[in-house]
A and B are shown apart, each in its own frame.
Chain A
Amino acid sequence: MKKQTNNADQDKKCLQALKVSNERFHSIVHFSPDAIIVTDAKGKIEYMNPAAEKVFNRKLESFVGKDFGLALVNGESTEIDIIRPGKEPGVGDMYVVQTEWMGEKAHLITIRDITGRKRTEEELREARDYLDKLIGYANAPIITWDSASRITLFNHAFERLTGYTAEEVVGKELFTLFPETSRDKSLNKIMHTSLGEYWESADLPIRRKDGVIRIVLWNSANIYDQDGKTLLATIAQGQDITERKQSEEKLLESKILTEVVVENVPLMTFLKEATDLRFVIFNRAGEELLGYDRKDLLGKNDLDLFPPEQAAHFMAKDREVLDGETGILDIPEEPILTAKKGELLLHTRKVCIRGADGETKYLLGISEDITERKQAEKQLHDILERLRKSFEATIQVLISAVEMRDPYTSGHQLRVANLASAIAKEMELPDDEIEGIRMAGSIHDIGKLSVPAEILSKPTKLTNIEFSLIKEHSQKGYEMLKDVESSWPLAQIVYQHHERMDGSGYPRNLKGEEICMEARILAVADVVEAMASHRPYRPALGIDAALTEIEKNKGIFYDNDVADACLRLFREKGFQLEVT
């Protein structure tokens, strides 16, 4: 009896334990978020937990007893596409273990819904692909390297820059891209980068695969892990500035050269801003000339430095250049008040400087101190003026000497001088030559001083000897004048005034081009005056007869142009000889 009671108690305890165990496992299976399916050995569904309805998004009572299929996995689990009516298909991770169900072989299938995770993975993959493409095809060379300075990324632009392909450099150390001569400097910069200091921009020389060196401007940034401390990688973006660097260097050389030239040129050189005409550059010669230190000049304008009228003049000239079309102004002479040297005279050139956009930017001025030169010129002018007066006085003495002996000759010389200078003016000869002709005309018969006065004023025809004495007056005049200092060839003009174009004149029978122009003019004037005036031995033949003579022998005795000018003077312009 006691044994039966014990057995019953034990049975009861076992049942109780089993019940508890069943409840535990039921709880686990019932509340699992993963779908749990039990199939028989062939794949027929024996059981599905409540989560399966959620995972498959459908009521599943009708599926129990139907075929799920023999579940096959590769390794621990396999991914499957879950068909969810009313929703997009999901993705599940399927785990399969062999078990027993109701005493028969069965398969315990667990399906975890990984749709969300898959979507995230897909988005990440798309984002990564997009980023790879962005970086890969970006126009700027981009490179990344890890904390051991090994290249991890090398985009197409970088390939173009270096001539290396990504395959050739990824995995290699970064320093292989740098020329050996500057490797240490470059590596130093990189080391500082990986220590956490990143440089905004730095010029680094890169050596291409073909050995050519390019200068690249780098910007870089460090990429840290989520802890903000662990350096994962460094990304750098480059810009090939080789040509720009070369241009900059050339520009700098040019700038230095210009500065040296401007500073040392021995003329005052300055630059003013176009807007407010303030000085921005002043050279040493300028400081010395004005007597100011350039620090007292820069930033100021003319109104700050010079008397108002002078300043107004300078600024007016500045505006003339800046607003004008040519952009250049030459000011031959302008006064300037200096600090130490008083008032000076300058010869200034002003030039408008425009920017690349065509806008006026600056005014360049270059000034030469011409004060001393001007003083010297004035002195010379005064001396020359005194000399001229002295010379004229001398000539006057000679004229007076002739006048005293022979009034006919004196009046004749002056009238010839007037006519000759009028002819010369009609022929548009230079003023200085006209003056020379007038001077020569007024003494052309000076040689007659050596001829006895009685012969000069003889009222009857001269003998041959007497005539030959008179003919010597040209040579005598030449001898008197040949040692007189003069800016005109007075001696030669006097010597030649009786020569004729065809060689029939005297004393040397000169012909054509051998006779100087002044003498040719004097010859015509001499003949016209002589014929138109009274002589001791005959009355005046008249101006018409004189002009007829000139016209008749034009080109034979007398120069064509001279003769034509003489004829025009009388016939067209009404020239009058003061005939006595």
Chain B
Amino acid sequence: MAVKYVLKLYVTGVTPRSQAALKNLEKILDEDYKGVYSLKVIDVMKQPQLAEDDKILATPTLIKDLPPPVARIIGDLSDREKVLLGLDMVAIR
């Protein structure tokens, strides 16, 4: 059974930080995880309750729900190694 990563990215509207985070993440996922991930992008402005439920204090916050363990990173997503390490994801080449 192939591993499927379930990810949630919390952003705040279309700030430069939100746009940069999305761009960086898509690059990483499309390069190395094509077909083995699902990504939900949640705008805290539009869905504040979800942010509250997940206790999101700031964005961009990226959460890996599956496979366990749940991992969370916040801040800059431009460094691929750091992102994958932080999310405890295996680098697939």
**Contact segment of A61-69, A185-193, A203-211, A389-397:** A61-69
Given A43-B73, A43-B74, A81-B15, are A69 and B82 neighbors across the interface (CB < 8 Å)?
no
Contact B45 A89 (CB under 8 A): yes
- Answer whether A72 and B73 are a contact pair too, CB < 8 Å, given A63-B55, A83-B59, A89-B12: yes
Q: Tally A residues with Cβ within 8 Å of B.
A: 26
Is the pair B17, A79 in contact by a Cβ cutoff of 8 Å?
Answer: yes
| Contact yes or no, A80 B74, CB < 8 A | yes
Which residues of chain A in 186-225 are interfacial with respect to chain B, using CB atoms and an 8 Å cutoff?
none
Instruction: Judge if B77 is at the interface, Cβ distance under 8 Å.
Output: yes
Interface of B is mostly: mixed
CB-CB under 8 A from A96, the residues of chain B are 75
Give A337 Cβ to nearest chain B Cβ, in Å. Answer: 94
Among candidates A70, A83, A94, residue contacting B56 with C-beta atoms closer than 8 Å: A83
Inter-chain residue pair count (beta carbon < 8 A): 87
Q: Does A73 touch B at the CB level, under 8 Å?
A: yes
1/0 per residue B14-58: CB within 8 Å of A?
011110000000000000000000000000110010011001111
**B55 contact set on A, CB distance < 8 A:** 63, 66-67
- The answer to whether A72 touches B83, judged by C-beta atoms less than 8 angstroms apart, is yes
Chain B residue nearest in CB terms to A52: B57
Chain B CB within 8 A of A56 CB: yes
For B75, give its contact among A42, A80, A82 (CB under 8 Å): A80
Most B CB contacts (10 A, CB to CB) among A42, A43, A74, A83 go to A83
Residues of A within 8 A of B75 (CB): 69, 71-73, 78, 80, 94, 96
Contact B76 A73 (CB under 8 A): yes
A83/B76 in contact, CB under 8 A:
no
A72-B82, A89-B12, A89-B45 given; A81·B73 CB < 8 A: no
**Residue A92 at the chain B interface, CB threshold 8 Å:** yes
* A484–B69 alpha-carbon span in the complex (Å): 152
Closest Cβ neighbor of A58 among chain B residues: B57
B interface, size bucket: 20 to 34
A78 to B60, CA, bound (A): 11
The reply to whether A83 and B82 contact each other, CB–CB distance below 8 Å, is: no
Cross-chain contact B17 with A80 (CB below 8 angstroms): yes
Assess whether B58 is in contact with A92, with CB atoms less than 8 Å apart.
yes
Contacts of A82 in B (CB 8 A): 57-58
User: Which residue of chain B is the closest to A72 with respect to CB atoms?
Assistant: B75
A83 engages B57 (CB within 8 Å) = yes
CA distance A67 to B83 in the complex (A): 16
Once A69-B72, A70-B74 are accepted as A-B contacts, the answer to whether A80 and B58 lie under 8 Å apart by CB is: yes
- Please indicate the chain B residues that have their CB under 8 angstroms from the CB of A42 in the complex: 71
Chain A residues with CB under 8 Å of B18's CB are 81
Chain B residues closer than 8 Å to A73, beta-carbon distance: 75-76
Which residue among B73, B74, B78, B82 has the maximum number of chain A CB atoms within 10 Å of its CB? B74
Contacts of B78 in A (CB 8 A): 74
Q: How far is the CB of B23 from chain A (nearest CB, A)?
A: 14
In the bound complex, CA of A82 to CA of B57 (Å): 6
Cβ distance B77 to chain A, nearest Cβ, rounded Å: 7
Which residues in chain A, 46-102, are within 8 Å of chain B measured between CB atoms? 56, 63, 66-74, 78-83, 85, 89, 91-92, 94, 96
A82 to B59, CA, bound (A): 7
Could you tell me which B residues sit within 8 Å of A by CB distance?
11-13, 15-18, 44-45, 48, 51-52, 55-63, 70-79, 82-83, 86
What are 5 of the A-B contact pairs (CB < 8 Å)?
A72-B76, A72-B77, A78-B76, A79-B16, A89-B12
What 19 additional pairs, Cβ within 8 angstroms, besides A42-B71, A78-B76?
Answer: A43-B74, A67-B55, A69-B63, A69-B72, A69-B74, A70-B73, A72-B73, A72-B75, A72-B76, A72-B77, A72-B82, A81-B11, A83-B51, A83-B57, A83-B58, A89-B15, A89-B45, A91-B15, A91-B17
